[in-house]
Amino acid sequence: IGKARNMDEYYFHVADDASLDLTEAVTIGVWVYLLSLPTAEVKNWTSLLYKQDGCELRNYGLWIHRTKRIHFSTTNGTNCVGATTDSLDIALNKWHHLVATYDDESKIVQFYIDGQPNNTVNLVGHSPNMAKGINSANLTGRAFNGLMDEAMIFNRALSAEEVKNLY
C-alpha cells in the first residue's frame, strides 16, 4: 500500500534478461491512475509496459491512446502488429487495472479492464509471431502521466478467471 510510482517523475528500466524473451504467449498487466491522457503533441500514444528495440523488434507492449483506447502490439519481424480496444470508460484520477493476453498459437489478443473481459481481437493473417532477445527502446515524448502499480508480465496467456483474481 502506498508504493505506486508517479511516472511523471520516474521511469523504470529493467535490464534485458532471457526470462523476458517471450515467444509463444504473454500476459501484460498494470494498475494505472491516469492524471492526463496523451496528446497529439506526444504522438497520441503513451507506453504502459513494453519490451522492444524499435518497431520491427517489438517483443510485446501495452499502450494507451488519447481517445482512451488500449493497444497491445508485437512484431512479425518487420512491422509492428497489434490490436486496439474501442474507446473505453477510463476515468482520470481513478485506479484502473489494464490487462492484455496474447497466445501465438491462436493469434488472439484478449483485453481486460478492471477484471472484466473487454475486446477480443484475432490477429490471424497478420503473422505476429513474437520476437525474442529485445531490449527496451528510448521512446522520447511518450512518457505516462500518472501513477503505476503492480506491473506484471507472465509467460503465458492467463485465463479470464486468473485475470479476475488479480483484480
One-letter identity of residue 53: D
**Residue 38, pLDDT above cutoff 50:** yes
**Residue 155, pLDDT above cutoff 80:** yes
> What would the pLDDT profile of 18-30 be if each residue is shown by its tens digit?
776 666 788 999 8
> What would the pLDDT profile of 74-115 be if each residue is shown by its tens digit?
766 666 777 888 878 888 999 999 999 988 888 889 999 999
Give 76's DSSP letter.
S
- Of the candidates 49, 134, 34, the residue with the CA atom closest to the CA atom of residue 94: 34
Rounded to an integer, the average pLDDT of 53-66 is 69
Distances (CA, A) of 107 to 8, 126, 129, 162: 34, 9, 8, 20
Tell me what pLDDT residue 15 has: 65
Residue 2's pLDDT band (cuts 50, 70, 90): low
pTM for the structure as a whole: 0.80
Residue 4's pLDDT band (cuts 50, 70, 90): low
Q: What is the DSSP string of 138-160?
A: --TT----EEEEEEEEESS---H
**Residue 40, pLDDT above cutoff 80:** no
* CA-based radius of gyration for the chain: 15
Strand positions, DSSP E, 35-114: 45-51, 60-65, 70-75, 80-84, 95-103, 108-113
Residue 129's pLDDT band (cuts 50, 70, 90): very low
Tell me what pLDDT residue 86 has: 82
Cα dihedral sign for 22, 113, 125, 60?
negative
Rounded to an integer, the average pLDDT of 52-64 is 67
Summary mean pLDDT of the chain: 75
**Residue 37, pLDDT above cutoff 60:** yes
Cα dihedral sign for 64, 70, 74, 78?
negative
